[in-house]
């Protein structure tokens, strides 16, 4: 177990500087164009693949960093560049985490490489959990998976929504109900391989922010996948369902792992790091502007009304980063989130990003409200952090229930 430290080692600093350079030289110059186009920035993803950023090896190295800081450090730098493009680069990671959290070693080795492709043939993946009537309330999920024992196949039917890379992905990871009697404990995750009949893209959403990231519905109509596409395998699923039924019958006992929640728990500090990156970018623009913009014969940073805002912005960003690093280190060290530290980090960083980007617009005044300056786009992008992968309200609920000892359903 790595000791907790606030000092990055030499290797981490080298990776951080490399990512920062890519964000500054490749992502930022393309940010405005792809935000306007509202399309997946395939050329930028390919550039990321060519230099090794968009690859299984890179994310594996960061994921298995013993300090836990590899992933949050990478997320902060990429999202400092631009949230929409960065999400297109890292969006595949949520599907990969879904496989890592629930899959067997064979499934991990088989499917995660297919999610990325290679520099000459870039692929993306999608994690499909939310539904039109089941966002934060995963217990209301309606997508069903029925086992066809004669063919050793699972048949999936339903509609997923808000899926990053949904419909354009090479590999889809789909969460579905296999046993409705035990609520969210009766969910399982499935791999839908490339070109599987019955899977199609539904509505593509035109969004307020992160517009360079593809978000769409995924429609499943009698989608048949082989038995080995059930993440974790059927024996493990049957054992888990049996425990869930025993617990339901006894009215308590052992808590049973939920596939979708396991993925979100693992990814929340990473989302917090994304928010930190966006907040930091907006703060830096505002700071530079305040030092060079003159009014009444002096830089506006000489005014306490501006200077104090910048002081608060920087303090909140640093506090958010510390919460993210703590949760990431705890996860890597195998320490349980006894006070919902993962949710704390996501909650505070998300709210900080919204607040800091709004303050940046205020400091830039009328210029901040135009697309000539990036803080307008950053503010639109920041709005998503308090919504996706668990709204701020849900994070507060998770934290409160964890502190009180109440079950998180």
Is 3 marked active-site?
no
The tokens for 140 are 């209301």
Write down the catalytic residue from 7, 341, 389, 393: 389
Pairing of strands 144-148, 153-164: antiparallel
Give the integer Cα–Cα distance in Å for 184 and 255: 12
Q: What is the DSSP letter of 295?
A: E
For 24, other C-beta atoms within 10 Å of its C-beta total 13
Phi, then psi, of 160 in degrees rounded to 5: -105, 155
Give the integer Cα–Cα distance in Å for 346 and 350: 6
The tokens for 102 are 């629930």
Q: Are 98 and 127 in contact (CB under 8 A)?
A: yes
Q: What is the 3-state secondary structure (H, E, C) of 347-406?
A: HHHHHHHHHHHHHHHHHHHHHHHCCCCCHHHHHHHHHHHHCCCCCHHHHHHHHHHHHHCC
Give the integer Cα–Cα distance in Å for 336 and 343: 12
Q: Are 191 and 111 in contact (CB under 8 A)?
A: yes
Q: Which residue has the tokens 């450090």?
A: 73
Q: Are 102 and 258 in contact (CB under 8 A)?
A: no
Give the integer Cα–Cα distance in Å for 190 and 188: 7
* Residues known to be catalytic: 389
């Amino acid at each position: 177990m790595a000791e907790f430290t606030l000092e990055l080692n030499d290797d981490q600093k080298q990776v951080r500087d490399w990512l920062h350079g890519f964000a500054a030289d490749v992502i930022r110059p393309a940010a405005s164009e792809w935000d306007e186009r509202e399309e997946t920035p395939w050329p930028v993803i390919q550039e990321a693949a060519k230099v090794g950023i968009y690859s299984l090896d890179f994310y594996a190295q960061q994921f298995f960093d013993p300090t836990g800081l590899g992933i949050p450090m990478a997320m902060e730098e990429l999202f400092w560049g631009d949230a929409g493009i960065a999400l297109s680069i890292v969006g595949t990671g949520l599907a990969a985490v879904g496989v890592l959290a629930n899959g067997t070693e064979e499934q991990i080795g088989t499917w995660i490489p297919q999610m990325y492709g290679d520099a000459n043939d870039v692929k993306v993946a999608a994690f499909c959990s939310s539904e039109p009537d089941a966002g934060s309330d995963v217990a209301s999920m309606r997508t069903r998976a029925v086992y066809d024992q004669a063919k050793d196949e699972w048949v999936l039917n339903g509609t997923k929504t808000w899926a990053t890379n949904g419909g354009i992905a090479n590999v889809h990871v789909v969460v579905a109900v296999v046993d409705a009697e035990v609520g969210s404990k009766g969910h399982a995750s499935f791999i839908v391989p490339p070109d599987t009949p019955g899977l199609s893209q539904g509505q593509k959403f035109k969004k307020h922010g992160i517009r360079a990231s593809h978000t769409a519905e995924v429609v499943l109509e009698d989608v048949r996948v082989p038995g080995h596409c059930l993440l974790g395998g059927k024996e493990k699923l049957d054992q888990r369902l049996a425990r869930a039924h025993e617990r339901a019958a006894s009215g308590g006992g052992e808590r049973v792992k939920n596939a979708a929640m396991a993925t979100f728990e693992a990814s929340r500090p990473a989302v917090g790091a994304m928010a930190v990156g966006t907040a930091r970018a907006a703060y830096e623009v505002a700071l530079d502007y305040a030092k060079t913009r003159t009014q009444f014969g002096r830089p506006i940073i000489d005014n306490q009304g501006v200077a104090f805002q910048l002081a608060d912005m920087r303090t909140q960003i640093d506090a958010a980063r510390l919460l993210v690093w703590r949760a990431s280190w705890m996860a890597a060290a195998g320490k349980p989130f006894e006070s919902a530290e993962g949710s704390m980090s996501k909650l505070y960083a998300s709210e900080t990003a919204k607040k800091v980007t709004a303050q940046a617009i205020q400091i830039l005044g009328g210029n901040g409200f135009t697309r000539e300056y990036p803080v307008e786009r950053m503010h639109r992008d920041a709005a998503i952090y308090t919504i996706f992968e668990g709204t701020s309200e849900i994070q507060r609920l998770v934290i409160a229930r964890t502190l009180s000892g109440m079950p998180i359903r």
